[in-house]
Amino acid sequence: MTNYRIIVEYDGSRYDGWQKQGNTDQTIQGKIETVLERLCGQSVEVHGSGRTDAGVHALNQVANFHVDINKKGQEIMEYLNHYLPEDIRVKELGQVSERFHSRLNAQEKTYLYRIEMGEKKQVFDRKYIYGLHKSLDVKAMEQAAVLLCGEHDFKSFCSNRKMKKSTVRNLKKIEFEKRIPDFWSVLPEMDFSIIW
């Protein structure tokens, strides 16, 4: 069996997140597995580096899967991209060591939040930007970010209080960037990313 690592981008608007849940095939994992199973003629389990909630998008989601197939990596990637829905794309595919696991070997994750501060959300960006409809106090946000960076236990934010996995996370960096309106965006926006 060969272990392949893929980098996937997707628009999560019409999906129930990354991870399969029961019988639903409206997940990113489910869609990729269905195409791989058709290619391989057998069941394939795709492991993601993390889960996303319903409606959440990804620019570079890492995943891996094991298959025993007489095809080159480029052929597998082309097959995936041909049969996956147009809102899911495999950007990279490569062979990795047998022991590589996208979730267990993940070293950091970056979350990007986009906030529009105009009166009404842009038509073309409405699925990708949160419409706040007022200006943000960026200085206050930067001061608060300093307190959040570092190692903290986030158990109080978990709905499952008896979770056995560690809820300690190290927030490496929180960055803020006010974007200048361009041709498509006539309203001011704020991007902020959290890296942990």
Distances (CA, A) of 73 to 29, 49, 77, 141, 179: 19, 20, 6, 44, 38
The stretches of the chain forming alpha helices (DSSP H) are: 28-40, 73-83, 138-148
Confirm whether 53 is a catalytic residue.
Answer: yes
- Strand pairing class (130-131; 110-116): parallel
Given 53, 125, 153, 182, the catalytic residue = 53
What DSSP character marks residue 172?
Answer: -
Phi-psi region for residue 165, left (φ > 0), alpha (ψ -120 to 50) or beta? Answer: beta
C-alpha closest to that of 187 among 112, 111, 130:
130
Active site residues: 53
